Amino acid sequence: MTTTTPPHTAGRPALDAPAVPEAPPAVEARRSTAARGRADVIIIIGAAVAALSLAALLVTRMVPTSNLAVFVVIAYLLFLPLYGVLVSLEDDGRTVRDRIASVAVHSLAVLALLALVLIIVFTFFRGEPVLVHLNLYIHDMQKTGPLDPLTSGGIVHAEAGTLIEIAIALLITVPLGLTCAVFLNEVRGVFPRVVRTVAEAMTALPSIVVGLFILALWILTLGFPQSGLAAALAISVMMFPIMIRASDVVLRLVPGSLKEASYAMGAPRWRTVWHVVLPTARSGLTTSLLLATARGIGETSPVLLTAGYGNSLNLNPFSGPMVSLPLFTFISANSPQKTMVDRAFGAATVLLVLVLVLFALARVLGGRQAGELSTRVQRRRAQESLRDLERFVSRDRTPKRMGAQMGGGHGG
């Protein structure tokens, strides 16, 4: 029996079937939680309207109350689940959780900003009747009584006292707090851990306790009088742990490679800290300074216990009572006279402006990035570079001139 070979296989090997290419792996689509389309805005508005309606129904029918804060809290607590239900109609559970968290974070941030704006606006409008009078800023209360009009008296003694006390407190706190933070960052062992623990515990120390401590030690035991210096010591104790903790956290963020490069070039530890670590952390250290200043400039009870209260201007921090703006605001706000309450709000407004100016000045002076030089330093370094260039050029010309003179002498 004769077998025949199929035509497609006769005289040549059979070919394999072509391999089917594998499908590329599916790429998971990245979810965007920040983008907001028209549908998202409609969902937010719908959830807000529904929450406000239900909150109004609850407040008026089920829990009768006229408190606006209760209404806002109930509406907000109803808004979040309603928004989650509306989002879940089109998206999966993970997206729903992301949307709810995003809305909660943004709404709380808006709430905090709104609270700050309301405080500033309310304080300004309550103090507006006295802020328009120039005597508020250049006179004291030595010859002014509670029944005198707003055109008499002022808060210049409180302004001067606040600036003097906070300046002395900063002179004490900044070098000690920064040195302690560098110590905690550079030294390892048991003692630095003990210091860090004590600094963390001191951040929760009540201000009245600090005032009593300075009163008992500085005034009653050592015999010094009540003065602005005693108040500055109490304020510096309040600022000290804030400065240490904030600066320690900032210094830890300095890359270790920068310090290693400095050590590799032969720089000692103190030079590395002074020229590498501190300039790199300058912006963060400015924030630490602002936090400490904000803590100290608003203290009232330590100033009352250690510096007393007076109505006249006192520029001597070593003797005599020295009042501050927070203390003047506290005393005047408790007065039954409307003029004194207006002066209290005026002093509070001036304190807000003073804090804003100090913070802006600190940001301008110390808020530059690491390695960024001021215009004055850049100009000085450019002048030094020009002098160095002239010196090198004159040094190169001197041998040529001497060679030319020697060649001319031999030719003669």
DSSP for 23-51, please give it: PPPPPPPPP-SS---HHHHHHHHHHHHHH
Sign, CA torsion 210/212/215/220: negative
Co-location of 191 and 103 in the same domain: no
Co-location of 270 and 341 in the same domain: yes
Q: What angle do CA 334, 338, 342 make, to 5 degrees?
A: 85
Q: How many domains does one find in the chain?
A: 2
In this structure, which amino acid lies at residue 367? G
Co-location of 171 and 88 in the same domain: no
Note the pLDDT of residue 68.
80
pTM: 0.72
CA–CA dist 258, 245 (Å, integer) = 22
Note the pLDDT of residue 104.
87
Co-location of 164 and 247 in the same domain: yes
Note the pLDDT of residue 125.
92
Across 209-317, where does the E strand assignment appear? none
Note the pLDDT of residue 28.
57
Domain that holds residue 179: 156-372
Are 339 and 250 in contact, with CB atoms under 8 Å apart? no
**Domain for residue 352, yes or no?**
yes
Co-location of 223 and 95 in the same domain: no
Three-class HEC string of 58-117? HHHHHCCCCCHHHHHHHHHHHHHHHHHHHHHCCCCHHHHHHHHHHHHHHHHHHHHHHHHH
Co-location of 83 and 171 in the same domain: no
Note the pLDDT of residue 381.
73
Co-location of 357 and 210 in the same domain: yes
Co-location of 236 and 101 in the same domain: no
Domain boundary among 114, 131, 148: 131
Note the pLDDT of residue 305.
92
Co-location of 172 and 274 in the same domain: yes
Co-location of 163 and 83 in the same domain: no
Block mean pLDDT (10 aa), the chain, length 412: 51 53 60 64 88 86 77 87 86 83 88 89 91 90 87 91 94 93 88 89 89 93 92 93 91 86 85 86 86 89 90 90 92 91 93 87 65 67 80 70 58 50
Note the pLDDT of residue 1.
47
Note the pLDDT of residue 170.
93
